[in-house]
Amino acid sequence: MQSGEQGIQTRFVRSLAQGAGPDEVAEAAVLIWRDIDAALAPIIGQQGVAALLRRSQYLLRDTYPWLGSCPPDPPGAPAFDALKSALGAQAAADSAQANGALLQVFNDLLSSLIGASLSERLLRSAWTPTSAQDDPQ
């Protein structure tokens, strides 16, 4: 899924280059996480998506302790409010870097469970930028 992940990082870098603040980076990140949830929830359930996200955060706790301390969202549809708050509280560059690492770990975990090929097919829609995601303004 190299090209999809590169596309995500390109969007964050473009946002930073255009002077996006932490809140804009956090909002862009949450849009991607909502796309991931929409792609995976019908197959592994919203709780499955939430569990993979929590595990990804846990695995990054040494590098980004503030990311690993996000309280989980309430049961039901993940709103990603806690993630958005945590990302928005950091400098834009740190937020973008942490979210990129979180996406990578999440993808690696998912690929280890269902295989890289299926993971790539399921997440293709989330990795493809929409016009709203592509233009942070």
Q: Domain locations in the chain?
A: 2-129
Please name the amino acid found at residue 42.
P
In the predicted model, what is the mean pLDDT of residues 113-131? 78
Tokens of 94: 């740190």
pLDDT tens column, 5-48: 555 555 556 666 567 788 988 998 898 899 999 999 999 998 89
Tokens of 119: 């993971």
What integer pLDDT is reported at residue 93 of this predicted model?
A: 86
Q: Do 5 and 104 touch, CB atoms closer than 8 A?
A: yes
- Is the C-alpha dihedral spanning 52, 28, 18, 125 positive or negative? positive
CA neighbor of 68 nearest in space, from 48, 52, 83: 83
Could you tell me the pTM of the whole model? 0.79
